[in-house]
Amino acid sequence: MQKVQPIRELEAIDRMKRALKRDSLRNYFMFVLGLNTGMRISDILPLQVKDVRNKTHIRVKETKTRKSGTFRINRELWQDIADYTEDMQDEEYLFPSRKTNLPLTRVQAYRILRKAAGKAGIEQIGTHSMRKTLGYHFYNQTKDVAVLQEIFNHSTPAITKDYIGITQKEIDDKMDNFYL
């Protein structure tokens, strides 16, 4: 299995958003929600409107870990949710399949992201890329690996750094400009 990477360049994130939005508002919002919460795709897809509308946090029992997860909805994401769900009923899935009354599957989500990534010129992308992208940019803005470790529910900072793709080259580049 190929290891997916975070999307490191902000312009690439914007290209990806544009490619998804051209195809479907649903697909665009799935990407935006994943980017801005750090939730796993397996926890995003079964969400219903009532789980996010007029909320400050998304609370789920994480599929992978079976632990309770709480994900903050900031002001910008709250507005995105309000706009996206405006004409939806509380019991509707946020990301319904076009063929069934069920939510998208992981495979469908993967295909959607890969197709948009191809149009946006992005490689090494998968469903985990949204979560990794949040981690990468959060870390670069805050340098707070402890909070990120808590968001991701990782057991060590080393796991978190490896997960978000902090590479030896990036460490070396920072060390090149550091001298006491």
Instruction: List the catalytic residue out of 15, 26, 128, 132.
Output: 128
- Give 63's strand partners: none
Considering only CA atoms, which of 25, 19, 64, 68 is closest in space to residue 41?
Answer: 64
Q: Rounded to 10 degrees, what is the CA torsion of 149, 13, 93, 86? A: 120
Catalytic site includes residue 64: yes
Rounded to 5 degrees, φ, ψ at 131 are -65, -45
The answer to whether residue 66 is catalytic is no
- Catalytic status, residue 132: no
User: Looking at 22, 61, 64, 174, which residue is catalytic?
Assistant: 64
Token pair of 51, please? 């789980």
Active-site annotation holds for 110: no
Is 137 an active-site residue?
no
Residue of 26, 28, 84, 131 with catalytic role: 131
Measured CA to CA, the distance from residue 69 to residue 89 in angstroms comes to: 24
Please tell me the distance from the alpha carbon of residue 143 to that of residue 139, in angstroms, as a whole number.
Answer: 5
Which entry of 40, 132, 136, 161 is annotated as an active-site residue?
40
| DSSP E strand stretches across 40-118 | 57-61, 68-72
Q: Is 128 a catalytic residue?
A: yes
Residues with a catalytic annotation lie at 40, 64, 128, 131, 154, 163
